Amino acid sequence: MAAFLMAYVAYISNRRNYPTGVSVGFRQFVRDTLYALPALLTPVILLGGIYTGVVTPTEAGALASLWALVISVVYYRSLGWKQLVEVLKSTAKMTGTVSIIVGAAYSFSYIIAIEHIPAAIGQVFLNITTNKYTFLLIVNVLFLVLGMFMDTMAIMLVFVPMVLPIVNQLGIDLVHFGVVIVLNMMIGLLTPPYGVLLFIVSGISKTPLRPIIIETLPMTCTLIVLLLLMTYVPEIVLFVPRMFGQLK
């Protein structure tokens, strides 16, 4: 993904003659690195806590957030008390929104489960095709369309459980399927009309949505090409877990 996007960025930067960055000397590099060191410890706390088993992922997220808050206020002094109150208000609103979405999704999932809707949907899919590659294409198109209109949390909680029995039945590797679906939902965050990341970028940069959508469209198309490549060449996804003996 990085290689695909780097190639596009290099192409568009050369085509538009964007200015090059200023060269940084070794001493300045060391100074900047030391200054950034407290911030760079945030992912160390997050991932280190999870992989060592000291804390759960939720607890690791809380610890990393607390660390980021402390260094922003005490070390970098980039966050005043007034700004801190605004951050807490914004966080409360966002948490409330996500909680409502998750709650509604769980309720919907319960109804779907007791009505045996996944089995019915599975039968519909199997009536269309029993070829796993055709099935993956249909699922990709379906999830891309859903991503244009729905939140990723709702898609993950409601629609993924619907197709999971068919995935097992067709012998599709769950790691491969999971990565493909996650990338698919990530692309959904960039697609109008509901693309959440588009609204976030618009709000931060104070830029209207239209030019943002125009600029991100080629990158979205690049990611869709990558999605299809990952869908039909599973080794792109699976070679790393196989390398470490997690898969046969």
**Could you state, in chain order, the average pLDDT of each consecutive group of 10 residues for the chain (248 residues)?**
89 90 87 92 91 89 91 85 84 80 72 72 74 88 81 77 84 91 88 78 82 90 91 89 72
Residue 194 pLDDT: 72
Per the domain annotation, does 155 fall within a domain? yes
Does one domain contain both 153 and 221?
Answer: yes
Do the Cβ atoms of 150 and 108 come closer than 8 Å? no
Q: Would you say residue 103 lies in a domain?
A: yes
What is the pLDDT, as a whole number, of residue 130? 77
pTM score, two decimals? 0.69
Q: What pLDDT, on the 0 to 100 scale, is given for residue 118?
A: 65
Copy the structure tokens of residue 12. 């568009």
Distance CA(50)–CA(44), nearest Å, equals 10
- The answer to whether residues 190 and 240 belong to one domain is yes
* 116 in the same domain as 65: no
Domain match, 154 and 227 both: yes
Determine the Cα–Cα distance for residues 81 and 73; give it in Å rounded to an integer.
8
Same domain? For 95 and 158 the reply is: yes
The number of domains in the chain is 2
Rounded Cα distance between 152 and 185, Å, is 6
- Mark whether 123 and 241 lie in a shared domain: yes
Choose the final residue of a domain: 48, 79, 110.
79
How far is C-alpha 83 from the chain's CA centre? Answer: 27
Please indicate, yes or no, if residue 6 is contained in any of the structural domains.
no
Say if residue 191 is in the same domain as residue 72. Answer: no
From CA 144, how far away is CA 148, in angstroms rounded? Answer: 7
Measured CA to CA, the distance from residue 182 to residue 231 in angstroms comes to 12
Is 181 in the same domain as 228? Answer: yes
* 72, 150: one domain: no
The C-alpha atoms of residue 21 and residue 18 are separated, in whole angstroms, by 9
Distance between start and end Cα atoms, the chain: 25
At residue 142, the pLDDT reads 84
CA distance 2 to 62: 28
Q: Please tell me the distance from the alpha carbon of residue 179 to that of residue 230, in angstroms, as a whole number.
A: 9
| Domain-embedded: residue 149 | yes
- Under DSSP, the state recorded for 18 is P
The answer to whether 46 and 61 are in contact (CB under 8 A) is: yes
**98 and 217 assigned to the same domain:** yes
Q: Are residues 147 and 191 in the same domain?
A: yes
Residue numbers of the domain that contains 33? 24-79
Burial 57-79 (b: 16+ CB within 10 A, else e): eeebeebbeebbeebbeeeeeeb
71 and 92 co-located in one domain: no
